[in-house]
Amino acid sequence: MSEKTEGRGLARAVPSERYWKPRSKAWVAAEGLSLAALLTVNLLMPTVQEVEDLPYRIAVSLGLAFLAGAIVVSIFNEKARSRLYHHAQFVFALALVLIAWDLVTEKSDLLPLPFFPSAAQILQVIVEDYEKLLISTAYSLRLLVVGFAIGTVSGLATGIFLGWYRQWGYWVFPTVKIMSVIPATAWIPVAMIVFPSSFGAEVFLIVLSVWSPVAYMTATGIAGIPKAHIEAALTLGADERFLLFKVAVPGAMPSIFIGIYTATGLSFATLVVSEMIGAKAGLGWYINWAKSWSNYAKVYASIVIMAILFSLVMDLIFKLRDRALVWQKGLIK
């Protein structure tokens, strides 16, 4: 998936190699067979629930086609070959899990509906209700972007200010500290009163959830800049602006990014909860709305879309961090 997942603490047997699983054709064959079995089971076994299986079958077939394509490419491309071998075991296991899921749901009714729909049914919902889901996704994304942007910028400004000016830090930093332990969602009742529109209240909650960790980590990062760096800059003729923006802020970047990705996780939680309370659209609202109809397939559909959306946002944050902190490459770890 992403270029540099190393920093995220995935355990690795051989640190320097990204594709370390056995380079075995047998596993690739098993991968292909398991996907084929998945398709066959779904096609041939009688279905006891009322489900439109077509989207699911198309998706699995696409998976098989993708694998065939990857095999062809891997004949010519060494990197694609390494990747193919590396992921074979995982896809194999994934296919087995999906087969099991299929068997205990729509093929046998073993797990009760509506709470545990089959994968096919979730996909069916996504396809049938795509319009509403698309609008919900757009609403959530808009809320996230606006709230995250305001929260990050104000958090950075607060943190830089409090980290740099000791006197201000002394008086105001405790507030940041307190705010950072209170979940933003605890302010929901207050937000609903203070803001006339539900969108305003939701933005406020996300800003709050992003602001405090960013401000906290920025302030500690700036205050913790080694004195030696400041002194070196001073003997080179630095003024305060240079000290702050060319020494303190770049030096605090590692800490700032810890704040930013803590905030990212918190903002997702805040987004979903705040959309569940007052909103008229959004993925959180969609979950709540589907729940009131006891349409659990729709609940899962919204969760699947969240998973994809939030992973993409997280990946983007990590990419930005890797770019901003190239100078750390190989320094820590």
Partner 1 sequence: MSAEARTTEGAIKVEGVGRTYVDAYGHEVEALRGIDLFVNPGEFVSLIGASGCGKTTLLRLISGLDKPQAGKLFLDGTEIAGPSHERGLVFQQANLFPWETIEDNIAAGLKARRVYKEKKKEVQRYIDMTGLKGFERTYPHQVSGGMAQRASLARALINDPKVLLLDEPLGALDAFTRMDLQDRLLELWGERGTTMILVTHDVDEAVYLSDRIVIMTPRPGKIEEIIPLSSPRPRSRGDPEFLELRTLILEKLHFVSRPKGPEYFL
> Which residue's CB is nearer to partner 1, number 179 or number 238?
238
Please give the full DSSP string across 113-179, using - where no structure is assigned. Answer: TTTS--HHHHHHHHHHTHHHHHHHHHHHHHHHHHHHHHHHHHHHHHHHHHHH-HHHHHHHHHHHHHH
Among 52, 125, 106, smallest CA distance to 299 is for 125
d(CA 86, CA 138): 35
> Which residue's CB is nearer to partner 1, number 70 or number 258?
258
Within 10 angstroms of residue 278's Cβ, the number of other Cβ atoms is 16
Eight-class DSSP state of 328: G
CB 222, min distance to partner 1, A: 14
Query: Do 320 and 171 meet the contact criterion of CB atoms below 8 Å apart?
Result: no
Phi, psi of 208, deg, nearest 5: -60, -45
Is position 157 an interface residue for partner 1 (rule: CB under 8 A)? no
> Which residue's CB is nearer to partner 1, number 183 or number 251?
251
| Per-residue contact string for residues 209-238; x = within reach of partner 1 by CB under 8 A | -------------------xx-xxxxxxxx
Is position 135 an interface residue for partner 1 (rule: CB under 8 A)? no
Is position 4 an interface residue for partner 1 (rule: CB under 8 A)? no
CB 332, min distance to partner 1, A: 10
Please give the full DSSP string across 203-239, using - where no structure is assigned. Answer: HHHHHHHHHHHHHHHHHHHHHTS-HHHHHHHHHTT--
Computed from CA positions of residues 33, 37, 43, 44, in that sequence, does the dihedral angle turn out positive or negative?
positive
> Which residue's CB is nearer to partner 1, number 14 or number 331?
331
Block residue for tokens 């809320």: 143
CB 231, min distance to partner 1, A: 5
Size of the site for partner 1 (CB under 8 A): 23
Instruction: Pick the piece of the chain touching partner 1 (CB under 8 A) from 98-106, 150-158, 215-223, 325-333.
Output: 325-333
> Which residue's CB is nearer to partner 1, number 253 or number 309?
253
CB 230, min distance to partner 1, A: 9
> Which residue's CB is nearer to partner 1, number 189 or number 237?
237
CB 280, min distance to partner 1, A: 45
Query: Do 59 and 125 meet the contact criterion of CB atoms below 8 Å apart?
Result: no
Within 10 angstroms of residue 108's Cβ, the number of other Cβ atoms is 14
CB 67, min distance to partner 1, A: 41
| Per-residue contact string for residues 176-215; x = within reach of partner 1 by CB under 8 A | ----------------------------------------
Q: Which of residues 234-273 bind partner 1 (CB under 8 A)?
A: 234-239, 242, 246-247, 250-251, 253
d(CA 250, CA 229): 11
Structure tokens at 54: 């077509």
CB 320, min distance to partner 1, A: 15
d(CA 239, CA 217): 24
> Which residue's CB is nearer to partner 1, number 167 or number 235?
235
> Which residue's CB is nearer to partner 1, number 55 or number 250?
250
**Which residues make up the interface to partner 1 (CB under 8 A)?**
228-229, 231-239, 242, 246-247, 250-251, 253, 326-331
